[in-house]
Amino acid sequence: MPITNRFTRLLGIEHPIVQGGMMWVGRAELAAAVSEAGGLGILTALTQPTPDDLRREIDRCRTMTDKPFGVNLTILPSVNPPPYAEYRRAIIDSGVRIVETAGHKPQEHVDDFKAHGVTVLHKCTAVRHALSAERMGVDVISIDGFECAGHPGEDDIPGLILIPAAVDRLTIPVIASGGFADGRGLVAALALGAEGINMGTRFCATREAPIHDRVKQFIVDNDERATNLIFRSLHNTARVGKTSVSDRVVEILRRPGAQFGDVADMVKGAQGRVALEQGDLDAGLVWTGQVQGLIHDIPSVADLITRIIDDAHAIVRDRLAFAA
């Protein structure tokens, strides 16, 4: 039975479950599977080498599903940034109706997307940033708690506090991100006032995820303690899976005077791609969240989403049916 609210109606999806836009992972195979199962699948724009490659990936996704899917465009400060405006144009010209934005100063992109009738979900890690994004005109906030994989910000606020704090201040729908993997998490998010969940690490451990089986088993075998927080001293905190590489990064950056350049070769995105695609866990970073402690199998996307929705209904029916 679907869980319907203003978020699902806005996006035209059956279930309030979003697949996060993950570098090297957000490809057509996974996005289409999530959308086909009633959630919102998301392609990751910058996984594609060029805007034309993104156009082709969007077309490929449409051959796999006729249901809504989105594209993630993450804007990061860089000395040599990718051609963000060209990627944005590829998204708009391809007729994509849903975009997930994240990162640094998205106003230009939000304005253009909104001018072309695109629904914008913006991912952020603090209530003050969420309020700024709401003023920019985004339609949905995806709020990322400290438990998440990737960049949780510098405030260290876990989802149990951050989600309702965001809901209390915003008028647009909020979806909860960071630490979600099952029906219990979905019910908890809804109870905290969110209208859906965004999952990244959990979708990595599915059959359709386009990453090596060794990485999927790595997630299953890990517990909630097996992550590292890197770049803390650089005020650019990131949560990644605990591996020989991330252990070494933490060790080096603890040294007095250590700089990003001391670990740059170890944390390159290309090295992370090798780890994900070849299963070489010593090659680069593997970005996973603490939620890996709740992941114990590698199901199909369809089975996972069905299980989450069924479990959520059962929890509400059997455990939250308080007597009057």
Three-state secondary structure call for residue 67: coil
How many of the other CB atoms lie within 10 Å of CB of 263? 21
Specify the long-range contacts of residues 143-147, CB closer than 8 Å, at least 24 apart: 143/174, 143/175, 143/176, 143/177, 143/194, 144/177, 144/178, 144/198, 145/176, 145/177, 145/178, 145/179, 146/178, 147/178, 147/179, 147/239, 147/289, 147/290, 147/291
Residue 13's identity, in one-letter code, is: I
Conformation bin of residue 275: beta by default, left when phi > 0, alpha when psi is -120 to 50 = alpha
How much is the pTM? 0.96
Contact 100, 118 (CB under 8 A): no
The domain 6-208+300-318 is placed in CATH, from the list 3.40.50.1100, 3.20.20.70, 3.30.1370.60, 3.40.50.1700, at 3.20.20.70
Domain ranges of the chain: 6-208+300-318, 213-290
CA–CA gap between residue 312 and residue 132 (Å, rounded): 32
- Tokens 């905290």 belong to 192
In angstroms, how far is CA 254 from the centroid of its own chain? 28
Query: What is the residue-level pLDDT of the chain in tens, covering all 324 positions?
Result: 889 999 999 999 999 999 999 999 999 999 999 999 999 999 999 999 999 999 999 999 999 999 999 999 999 877 789 999 999 999 999 999 999 999 988 999 999 999 999 999 999 999 999 999 999 999 999 999 999 999 999 999 999 999 999 999 999 999 999 999 999 999 999 999 999 999 999 999 999 999 999 999 999 999 999 999 999 999 999 999 999 999 999 999 999 999 999 999 999 999 999 999 999 999 999 999 999 999 999 999 999 999 999 999 999 999 998 755
End-to-end C-alpha distance for the chain, whole angstroms? 25
pLDDT value of residue 271: 95
pLDDT value of residue 80: 85
